[in-house]
A and B are shown apart, each in its own frame.
Chain A
Amino acid sequence: MKILLIEDEPGLQTAVRHYLEGEGYTVTTAQTFRQGATKAHDYDYDCIVVDLMLPDGNGLDLVRALKNQQSTAGIIVVTAKDALSDKLTGLDAGADDYLTKPFHLSELNARLRSVLRRRLFGGQATVQAGELTLWPDQQRVSVRGRDIKLTGKEYELLLFLITNAERLLSKSAIAEHVWGDAMDAADSHEFLYTHVKNLRRKLMAASCPDYIQTRYGAGYIFSTRTP
């Protein structure tokens, strides 16, 4: 999978690139609007992650240009502007998803996966993780062909864990992904603990191996490797 990352902040660019490379993507980076536009024009990418405020232009223009060229690449806009109107402008211009800074890398990964799934498999693809099969467009989960009933939040939690498999997910990253803005109100860690416990119970009741490992004080790891 080829990703073009257009971000002018060197620190953030490096961190994102490292993370995504660790996820197995091929990452090309661009620092400026001009560089990014050239690369996006010259090569094909599966997904383009673009910052809106670039030193020599607005990322939105790039989004519009790509849409005009009928590019098949998925586009995720990353920006510090979080007003609703800004988001709507971005999505109207043709972006597939929108992420506001600061974001968790795992969150970016989950959004990338979701965009790629929609782009490459028409949303029909299943996600396989060990003995679990997920149908992201139907919110369906099964273990060895037997469906498990999960609540919406439990499903999102599981998908997020699977998307970032083999990586340590901090509690705040999970909480923000699954519950969004509402989460910072509650004593999030305890709340999350209850939900993970429920999810685990349901999976294990369907005789699925315990893939979710707890790193005490840090977060959770979804791993299909047998310990």
Chain B
Amino acid sequence: MSLLSQTARYLLLTAFIIALAGAVGFYTLIHRKIRYEVDEILTSQAEQAIHRLQTQPVTVLSNWDDNPHIERVLAAKQPEFTDIMLADSLTNNRPEPIRQLSTTTLVNGQMYQITVRLPYHEFNELSREMSLGVIIGFLILMALSVGVGLGLARRLWRPFYTTIDQLGSFQLDQPTDPGFPQSRIREFGLLNQSLRELTQKVRRQFSLQKQFTENASHELQTPLAVASAELELLMQSEQLTETDHAHLQRATDALSRLSQMNRSLLLLTQVENDQFSGADLLDLSALVCQYTDEYRPFFEHKQMQFSASIAPNVYQRMNRQLAGVLLTNLLKNAVRHGLPGGSITIDLLSNALIISNTGRPLPFAESQLFTRFVKDPARPDSTGLGLALVKQICDRYSLPIGYTYDSAAEKHSFQIGLR
């Protein structure tokens, strides 16, 4: 959720709670005030009645609807306000709330009780309408201020979002730094300044690392070249026995494995460092055909049943060299670990590439399949880097890669989702 919508959410939520509490509080306040006023009216009416009682006979005092109601009582009592409900004959005998005041007074040695009544109903309605009006006004005000606040915030935060966009499109292997926007707000200015410094630092580190991998490659390959050249010269000697040759062969094999591993590790580092920029729209169908043709002799040599169904016109945007590495590593993996006389199937669909081969179950946990240097202990000649490289390349292009083993058919399969 964005900063703005989060702010808006909290603002609206608080506004709602305030409006709710305000409505109740305001209604109570007005209600009380009105009752107080009604009580004052009743008191003055009662006083008026007492005053008239002293000057006029009782019979003419009460008006025609018996309000005020005057009767003789024996004992005096304190003035008392009560709320009662009385049926109103005018509105179909509906009960209406009525406020009444009863008080006693002594006139000419006679005790009278005076009861004055006032319908409350209209006042209640007034208080309700007033509170409603005030709440609606408040809500409108609140909505306006939230709207204005958000609009302002959006305007103020704009440089921040521009910076984020710039950061998202930041690529290490591009020569130019992203142009972070100038901002009059000090914090954003600071942020952009820090980001500029950070990207420059990262870029410098990156180019150092790139240089390092290249130099390391050179420095490692040269002694390897010396060693293998020397071994090859030694091999030409006439005086060597068969055992000597076997030793030489083993040393040569170890060297070539070392060099292979060195190359794979460098490639892995380079892929991790995103050093393969530039992605062409590759005709994957043609590429898969080309590589499967290249590997066909190897399949045939191991007497593997080979079947391929390759959908035409499957395109994928990726670096050509990496696509080659991806395919050859998967095919190599299938040849290397497939059992002689087993089968290999390659399916290229419009949305997936599936390479499966029959073989024994994995000798290690499935979760370790794509981990570097995890390999079948029975195959010491493998570098254990091939599938790590495959995974790395898939990750670079955000292609989902999956592995399944069908134990009934003893079939390993790798699926790569395409886009």
Q: CA A15 – CA B228 in complex, angstroms?
A: 9
Q: Of all chain B residues, which has the CB nearest A13?
A: B226
Is A81 touching B233 in the complex (CB atoms < 8 A)?
no
> Is B224 in the interface zone, CB < 8 Å from A?
yes
Complex CA distance for A9 and B225, rounded to whole angstroms:
10
Assess whether A172 is in contact with B232, with CB atoms less than 8 Å apart.
no
A167 to B255 alpha-carbon distance, docked (Å): 21
Minimum CB distance partner of B220 in chain A: A80
Question: In the complex, what distance in Å separates the CA atom of A191 from the CA atom of B300?
Answer: 10
**In whole angstroms, what is the CA distance A4 to B236 when docked?**
23
Give complex CA distance A191, B252 in Å. Answer: 18
Q: What are the nearest 9 A-B pairs in CB distance?
A: A185-B332, A15-B229, A218-B245, A102-B225, A80-B221, A11-B226, A80-B218, A101-B221, A102-B224
Docked-complex contact A191 and B298, CB < 8 angstroms: yes
Interface residues of B (CB under 8 A from A): 214, 217-230, 232-233, 235-236, 240, 242, 245-246, 248-249, 252-253, 255-256, 259-260, 263, 270, 294-295, 297-298, 301-302, 320-321, 328, 331-333, 335-336
* A9 and B232 contacting across the interface, CB-CB below 8 Å: no
Which residue of chain B lies nearest to A186 when distances are taken between CB atoms in the complex? B298
> How far in angstroms is the closest Cβ of chain B from A70?
30
| A18 nearest in chain B by CB position | B233
For B266, the closest partner residue in chain A by CB is A82
B256 cross-chain contacts in A, Cβ below 8 A: 102, 172, 176, 184
Once the chains bind, are B222 and A9 in contact (CB under 8 Å)? yes
Report whether B232 and A184 are in contact in the complex, using a CB–CB cutoff of 8 Å: no
Q: Does A72 contact B (CB under 8 A)?
A: no
Contacts of A182 in B (CB 8 A): 294-295, 298, 328, 332
Residues of A within 8 A of B (CB): 9, 11-12, 15-16, 18-19, 22, 53, 79-84, 100-106, 153, 167-168, 170-173, 176, 181-182, 184-186, 190-191, 194, 215-219
Cα distance, A81 to B246, chains bound together (Å): 31
Residues of B within 8 A of A190 (CB): 301
- Report B384 CB to chain A, min CB distance, Å: 13
- CB contacts (< 8 Å) of B263 on chain A: these are 82
B214 surroundings in chain A (CB, below 8 A): 81
Taking a contact as CB atoms under 8 Å apart, the answer to whether A101 and B222 are in contact is yes
Query: Which chain B residue shows the least CB distance to A12?
Result: B226
Complex: A215 Cα to B249 Cα, angstroms: 11
Please measure, in the bound complex, the distance between the C-alpha atom of A81 and the C-alpha atom of B245, giving whole angstroms: 31
- Check if B226 sits within 8 Å of A170, measured CB to CB: no
Contact, CB under 8 Å: B252 / A172: yes
CB distance from B164 to the nearest CB of A (A): 33
Q: Which chain A residues lie closer than 8 Å to B221 at the CB level?
A: 80, 100-102
Known: A83-B270, A219-B235. 11 other contacts (CB 8 A): A15-B229, A82-B217, A100-B221, A101-B218, A102-B227, A103-B228, A168-B236, A182-B294, A182-B332, A185-B331, A186-B336
Taking a contact as CB atoms closer than 8 A, the residue among A22, A82, A171, A194 that contacts B236 in the complex is A22
